Amino acid sequence: MDQLLQHLLNALILGGTYALLGIGLTLIFGIMRVVNFAHGELYAFGAYMMYLWVMVLGANFYLALPLAVLLGIVLGALVELVLLRRLQGADIDTTMLVMIGAWIALQNMEQLTWSGVAKSINTPFPSAPLVLGAVSVSWNRLFVFVVALVLIAATYALINRTRIGKAMRATFQDRETAALMGVEIGRIHTFTFALGSGLAAAAGALLGPVFVVYPTMGDLASLKAFAIVILGGLGSIPGATIGGFILAFMEELGAGYVSSGYRDAMGFLLIIAILLIKPTGLFAQKERIG
Amino acid sequence: MKRALTIAWLLLLASVPLWLDNLYVLHVLIMTGIFIVAAMSLNLLLGYTGQLSLGHVAFFGIGAYTSSLVSLGFSVHLLPSWEVTLDPKPVWLGMLCGTVLAGLCGWAIGRISFKVRGAYFVIVTVSFAEVVRLVALNWVELTQGPMALNNIPYLTLGTPDLLEVSFLRKPANYWLVLAVAVVSYILIRRLVASRAGRAMIALRENEPLAASIGVDVTRCLVLATIVSAAMAGAAGTLYAHYVRIVDPDVFLFIYTVTMVIMVVTGGKGTLAGPVVGGFIFGLLPETLRSLQIGPEVQWVIYGVLMVLVLYFLPQGIVPALRDWWSGRMVNGQWRMAAPHSPLTIRHSPDEAAQ
């Protein structure tokens, strides 16, 4: 029983960062119709920026975190402006192949810059975990969870309460009409991609110190993000949030009770199950067409 | 005229081991040939149906592992008390099993993911490859995990007393790979020209229209996936019995990427595209290596090259050359040519799903 509680707690804490990854990807797909295979690279980029600031330049941990996220936003905006801006109106396969090219180039640049050796990042948190009765949680993970929740809440507020959020929702529902109403679609795309990339970089910057940082870490992050987004329905933000937690629970319980070697296979099983049962995902939103 | 040219090309390719002394170059050519077969199989999906399989290496690896295991024999406990043992079988049977099993996996993947259109197939295939890699890594009793399957027998045909051909040395393997490549090429050409093939192209161009004139879209896509997966599996069996060691690294994502780059650069949806792209990207790593350029830089170059090709030669090298050859090239026409003809109407996946 205690073991189960511990697994559930671990899953809850991991789920927050998974949700961040999923929300970023689903925003980019929903608004831009881009299958962003470079998403995991932004995650790895966030983790490496954290490493750069904390371990190489010796910056304060709490200062390094927003800096890493900011750099992720800047990189995302650059990718959109340089690679995707000119492809507006191209079909979904072309943009997907371009993003695959970007993925390979970015990942190997990381390998080139930082070498293939896994790196760890020091944290200012005490190493003794917080013990709550039968279960315990490390202070670092608790911090990760709280920051992830704050970021999720901020993203919701941004999309539902602000002017640019309204423009994003309008673009999602009907791009042509939104453009007719004066929404600058190009600017919305840049903003969306930068926001999605920033969320992925935040997930990387938060989880980097918990695990280790290595160049191919983005591959699994991409796959998990895709599983989350398919689970929640492509383009649905609540779906991605809940999907992130569901995947975390499945992984944690699967690793605990089935086999830890197949932990990362859970996302695939989830995708297969969803495609068999409800292919449009659990929370797919209807779009207006035409 | 055209036929004579084809035969001349084939004779030239077949004569390579007779005048080429350098065994290393021959080895590079054999590996290139194996990858060209895999790239051709990917082109059937990506080029002719418009569906990208981003886990193609899974079918390749399944072919390699199955063929090796059947020819080596194995013994595994499916349950603690239930042991399954297979005695070593002839290599040709192993290669057949590998091809068939890869095709079956293609069928299963196709059936599941073509329930909906769009990005799903890509995502299912890419995660399928990851899961197969995890199985190869973790099921040590069957696959030896990271210790790899060693001493895989080479292919022998015929009987020892009468006439026996063994594919141990490089020239024999070269001819074997060439033969499989030619058979695959002819198979794809016939399939594409057949009724099913024309249906595939129709649904790539405009799926709702194709469906409206009676094309069974899902059936066509699943059929293409089966053929494509089996062909990739066959390439994997060639790899296993030539290299004679198979480890979970055959499932590395970079091999899928290599195939995708070969197809996209050469020209997707053309018969010669994967062959041209395959030669370029089969021989390029060796050139880069001789220039002292490390693998990371090589992959960065691949990634950038892929983006540049999509920008400036969206159709690939072969169609661009063909346009140039037939003199239809207007100034800069193919430079930023639209990725699809104006008649093509693309639909987003969700619209198709609804």
What is the DSSP track for chain A? Answer: -HHHHHHHHHHHHHHHHHHHHHHHHHHHHHHH----TTHHHHHHHHHHHHHIIIIIS---HHHHHHHHHHHHHHHHHHHIIIIIGGGTTS-HHHHHHHHHHHHHHHHHHHHHHH-SS-B----SS-SSPEEETTEEE-HHHHHHHHHHHHHHHHHHHHHHHSHHHHHHHHHHH-HHHHHHTT--HHHHHHHHHHHHHHHHHHHHHHHTTTS-B-TTHHHHHHHHHHHHHHHH-TT-HHHHHHHHHHHHHHHHHHHHHT-GGGGGGHHHHHHHHHHHH-TT-TTPPPPP--
Query: Measuring CA to CA, which residue among B19, B57, B101, B75 is closest to residue B239?
Result: B57
Is the ipTM value over 0.85, yes or no? no
Test mutation, A83, A100, A175, chain B, max B CBs within 10 A: A100
Confidence of residue B341 (pLDDT cuts 50, 70, 90): very low
The partner residue sitting opposite B303, judged by closest CB among A108, A262, A268, is A108
Test mutation, B112, B123, B135, B309, chain A, max A CBs within 10 A: B123
Confidence of residue B336 (pLDDT cuts 50, 70, 90): very low
Q: Which whole-number Å values give the CA distances from B266 to B259, B260, B278, B331, in the listed order?
A: 11, 10, 8, 22
Domain extents for chain A? Answer: 13-218
Asked if A92 is an interface residue toward chain B (Cβ–Cβ < 8 A), one would say yes
Confidence of residue B328 (pLDDT cuts 50, 70, 90): low
The partner residue sitting opposite A108, judged by closest CB among B122, B260, B296, is B296
For B277-286, write each residue's pLDDT tens digit.
999 888 888 8
Domain extents for chain B? Answer: 27-252
For A62-119, write each residue's pLDDT tens digit.
999 999 999 999 999 999 999 998 887 777 878 888 998 899 899 989 988 988 888 9
B177, two tokens: 């790979």
The partner residue sitting opposite A112, judged by closest CB among B126, B297, B307, is B297
Q: Return the SS3 of B233.
A: helix
Confidence of residue A207 (pLDDT cuts 50, 70, 90): very high
User: Cβ A219–B118 below 8 Å, yes or no?
Assistant: no
Gap from B242 CA to chain A (nearest CA, Å): 29
For B212-241, write each residue's pLDDT tens digit.
888 888 888 899 999 999 999 999 999 998
User: Per-residue pLDDT for B345 more than 50?
Assistant: no
Q: Which whole-number Å values give the CA distances from B115 to A201, B202, B204, B217, B219, in the listed order?
A: 33, 19, 16, 10, 11
Q: Give the best-scoring range by mean pLDDT among A65-69, A174-178, B301-305.
A: A65-69
Asked if A231 is an interface residue toward chain B (Cβ–Cβ < 8 A), one would say no
Pairing of strands B164-167, B155-158: antiparallel
Asked if A290 is an interface residue toward chain B (Cβ–Cβ < 8 A), one would say no
User: Cβ B52–A223 below 8 Å, yes or no?
Assistant: no
Q: How far apart (Å, rounded) are the C-alpha atoms in residues A260 and A254? A: 7
User: Cβ A106–B303 below 8 Å, yes or no?
Assistant: yes
> Of all residues in chain B, what percent carry a pLDDT higher than 90?
22
For B192-208, write each residue's pLDDT tens digit.
888 888 888 888 888 88
